[in-house]
């Protein structure tokens, strides 16, 4: 298991973060949330008054913030220039701006460097949108999680309840809009890799999804050992 690399991709609300963290914790692997990295650079752009719709301005600033991810699945962290941004990166402002920032090739090049460096030694679960296709095409196991937009919106509004008054319909619309932007962009769009296993989580509990992914990882890790 020390060298295993697990890539988990899929749209928002399919269970990538919860599944990845649980799988990493159970298998003794590290965990990297690449969405948090794109959120962190987006937070920095907004905080520094950069117009996120000005791709040139975003590209020029892409190498300025220092982004560091802690990979312990029981307590993942994310800092920008030493400041903990785990709270601010989840605001609605960041969520609305993140697709525009993450579509800029210079931003992606920078994030992919960080992601490959983190995964270089193996022993990690990496979640995102393009991990199996672009970032880590040689990953040991690739999973693409899906779920109906209704199930995803219900899960997300469950999280938001009490924090922000957002209707289920508005949440669903925002998710569908972000899916379209993330899978329609030119550079490394969200996509299922040809060799990824698709798991539809609509009717599954989180425990069932975790079990399913662990089984797939153990099968693949076992096969690799047998070949050696």
Q: Which chain residues interact with ligand ADP by CB under 6 A?
A: 10, 12-18, 155, 158-159, 201, 204-206, 209
The answer to whether the beta carbons of residues 179 and 95 sit under 8 Å apart is no
The answer to whether the beta carbons of residues 192 and 54 sit under 8 Å apart is no
| Structure-token pair, residue 228 | 């050696």
Give the C-alpha separation, 165 to 85, whole Å: 23
Residue whose pair of structure tokens reads 């990882």 in the numeric block? 217
- When the beta carbons of 16 and 108 are compared against ligand ADP, the nearer one is 16
Q: Annotated binding residue at 69? A: no
The answer to whether residue 20 forms part of the interface with ligand YYY (CB under 6 A) is no
46 C-beta neighbours (distance < 10 Å), count: 18
The answer to whether the beta carbons of residues 35 and 182 sit under 8 Å apart is no
In the bound state, the residue with its beta carbon closest to ligand YYY is 35
- When the beta carbons of 37 and 50 are compared against ligand ADP, the nearer one is 37
**Binding partner of residue 206 among ligand YYY, ligand ADP, none, CB cut-off 5 to 8 Å per kind:** ligand ADP
| Structure-token pair, residue 48 | 């520094």
**Binding partner of residue 157 among ligand YYY, ligand ADP, none, CB cut-off 5 to 8 Å per kind:** none
Q: Annotated binding residue at 184? A: no
Cα atoms in the 13 Å half-sphere on the side-chain side of 181: 17
Give the C-alpha separation, 41 to 102, whole Å: 9
- In angstroms, give the least distance from the CB of 13 to ligand ADP: 5
- In angstroms, give the least distance from the CB of 4 to ligand YYY: 19
- Residue ranges that bind ligand YYY, judged by CB under 6 A: 12, 34-36, 38-39, 98-99, 102, 128-131, 178, 182
Give the residue numbers of the binding site for ATP: 10-18
Give the residue numbers of the binding site: 10-18
């Amino acid at each position: 298991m020390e060298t295993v690399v697990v890539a988990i991709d899929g749209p928002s609300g399919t269970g990538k973060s919860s599944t990845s963290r649980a799988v990493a914790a159970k298998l003794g692997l590290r965990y990297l949330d690449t969405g948090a990295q794109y959120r962190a650079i987006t937070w920095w752009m907004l905080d520094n008054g950069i117009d996120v719709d000005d791709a040139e301005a975003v590209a020029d600033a892409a190498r300025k913030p220092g982004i560091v991810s802690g990979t312990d699945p029981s307590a993942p962290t994310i800092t920008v220039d030493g400041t903990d941004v785990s709270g601010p990166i989840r605001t609605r402002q960041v969520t609305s701006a993140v697709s525009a920032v993450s579509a800029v090739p210079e931003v992606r090049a920078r994030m992919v460097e960080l992601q490959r460096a983190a995964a270089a030694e193996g022993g990690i679960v990496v979640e995102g949108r393009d991990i199996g296709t672009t970032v880590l095409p040689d990953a040991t196991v690739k999973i693409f999680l899906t779920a109906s937009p209704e199930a995803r919106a219900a899960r997300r509004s469950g999280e938001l309840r009490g924090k922000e008054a957002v209707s289920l319909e508005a949440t669903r619309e925002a998710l569908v809009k972000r899916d379209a932007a993330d899978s329609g962009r030119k550079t490394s769009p969200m996509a299922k890799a040809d060799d990824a296993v698709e798991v539809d989580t609509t009717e599954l509990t989180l425990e069932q999804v975790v079990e399913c992914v662990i089984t797939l990882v153990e099968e693949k890790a076992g096969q690799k050992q047998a070949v050696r």
